[in-house]
Amino acid sequence: MKVGKVPENVLKRSVMKQLHFTRDEVVLGPGIGEDCAAIALEPDEILVMSTDPITGTTKDIGKLAIQITANDLASSGAEPIGVMLTILLPDGTREIALKRIMEQMEEACGDAHIQIMGGHTEVTKVVNQPVVSVTGVAKAKKGQLVTTAGAKPGMDIVLTKWIGIEGTTILAKEREAELKEYFPPAFVDVAISFEQYVSVVPEAAVATKSGVSAMHDVTEGGIYGALWEMAEASGVGLEIDLKKIPIRQETVEICEYFDVNPYGLISSGSMLMATEDGESLVKDLCEAGIPATVIGKAVAGNDRVIIREDERRFLEPPKTDELYKVLG
């Protein structure tokens, strides 16, 4: 495809024809020449929005873009409704590549009950790989919004699943051939399969019903970055037991191979939560089939401490994600 807006016949053939899932709230959806979308809310509902680009990988970029946005919205305790897309493609991109991205997005949206409401697709010389940016729209009942800033001193800090989920699957996909020369192929295949755990929408739904006070999905900067951000937003300190932070062996070994720190690795698929009763929340999550662990407590003051046996070290503000040390 040539530089500029994607031609109308391509839009109809490789974009519009891939869109099937709809929601009643969307009263103006995607169409040729439509620059906006519209949704209708009930009087007791509020609109929740988020935006995120996918730039760290090109593998399954469409699927990942939707999952990450759904995670952001779910972290606020909201129900995702729809997304607006911006897709930027390098000069010379074949139409089939655009079609595959749209197919991935529509499949992920169907799984999450989200409608693609519209967007913009363009071929441009300013990118050298596909870039997908998603703006998500969700709804929540008034007074029931959950924020990152809801942690209070004395609350338990709960983490779902395992850290490094997203980073592990990205590294395994992007460097699959290289890793399979060093590790058994089955080991790498398991790491790739971690993509099935990237959504945190199920745990957000359980936690919201359980009365969680704060939620934050663990994305760029890894668990260390997410802990810092929750503490900073809430104005609290932290005491976190490093040994209680759950991590899969595949993540440990792949991070050792690439010499990166798993605690600073992008970790979509893991949700950080603050609650008055961590054990009760863990029980509710486990009953829903979602592994979860109490990893520490919020405390008064500004000290954010990671404890490993007798060693205590202070958290630092988030740094560049470890993923970029490998993928640039």
The pair of structure tokens assigned to 44 is 């007791």
* Residue-level pLDDT at 188: 97
Q: What is the pLDDT of residue 304?
A: 97
Reply yes or no on whether the pLDDT at 328 is more than 80.
Answer: no
pLDDT at residue 34, as a whole number? 74
Residue 279 main-chain phi, psi, to 5 deg? -65, -35
Query: What does the pLDDT read at residue 303?
Result: 95
Q: Please, which residues bridge with residue 305 across strands?
A: 239, 314
What's the confidence (pLDDT) of residue 144?
Answer: 86
Residue 260: both structure tokens together = 């990166």
For the stretch 19-40, what's the b/e string if a residue is b when 16 or more beta carbons lie within 10 angstroms of its beta carbon?
beeebebbeebbeeeeeebebe
Least trusted range by pLDDT, from 49-58, 65-74, 167-176, 306-315 = 49-58
Going by DSSP bridges, is the β-strand pair 156-160/271-275 parallel, antiparallel, or unpaired? antiparallel
Predicted confidence at residue 12, as pLDDT, reads 87
Q: Read off the pLDDT of residues 230-288 as tens digits, 9 standing for 90 and up.
A: 999 999 999 999 999 999 999 999 999 999 999 999 999 999 999 999 999 999 999 99
Strand partners of residue 4: 123
Compute the distance between CA of residue 263 and CA of residue 66 in angstroms, rounded to an integer: 24
- The per-residue pLDDT for range 180-227, each reduced to its tens digit, is 999 999 999 999 999 999 999 999 999 999 999 999 999 999 999 999
Percent of the chain past pLDDT 70, that is, above it, reads: 100
Q: What is the pLDDT of residue 16?
A: 87
The structure's pTM equals 0.87
34-55 tens-digit pLDDT: 778 889 999 999 999 999 888 7
pLDDT for position 1:
83
Torsion angle of the four alpha carbons 199, 202, 203, 206, in this order, in degrees rounded to the nearest 10: 170
Domains parsed from the chain with CATH numbers: 4-141 (3.30.1330.10), 148-327 (3.90.650.10)
pLDDT interval class at 119 (50, 70, 90): very high
pLDDT classification of 58: cutoffs 50, 70, 90 = confident
Please report where in the chains the tokens 């592994």 appear, as a residue: 291
Six-digit token string for 227: 């802990």
Q: What whole-number distance in Å separates Cα of residue 6 and Cα of residue 95? A: 9
Does the pLDDT of residue 60 top 90, yes or no?
Answer: no
Give the contacts of 157 (CB within 8 A, at least 6 positions apart).
151, 227, 230, 238, 240, 272, 273, 274, 278, 294, 295, 296, 297, 298
Lowest average pLDDT, out of 54-58, 167-171, 222-226, 308-312, goes to 54-58
Is the per-residue pLDDT at 171 higher than 90? Answer: yes
The tokens describing 195, both together, are 């993509």
Q: Which parts of 180-327 are beta strand (E)?
A: 214-217, 237-241, 271-275, 292-299, 304-308, 311-314
**Ramachandran bin of 182, using left for φ above 0, alpha for ψ from -120 to 50, beta for the remaining angles:** alpha
Reported confidence tier of residue 88, pLDDT bands at 50, 70, 90: very high
**CA neighbor of 209 nearest in space, from 105, 290, 328:** 290
Q: Is the pLDDT of residue 134 over 90?
A: yes
Look over the chain and give the mean of its residue pLDDT values, rounded to a whole number.
93
* pLDDT score recorded for residue 324: 92
Q: Is the separation of the CB atoms in 293 and 282 below 8 Å?
A: yes
**pLDDT at site 232:** 95
**Average pLDDT over every residue of 74-85:** 94
- Distance between start and end Cα atoms, the chain: 27
Q: How confident is the model at residue 172 (pLDDT cuts 50, 70, 90)?
A: very high
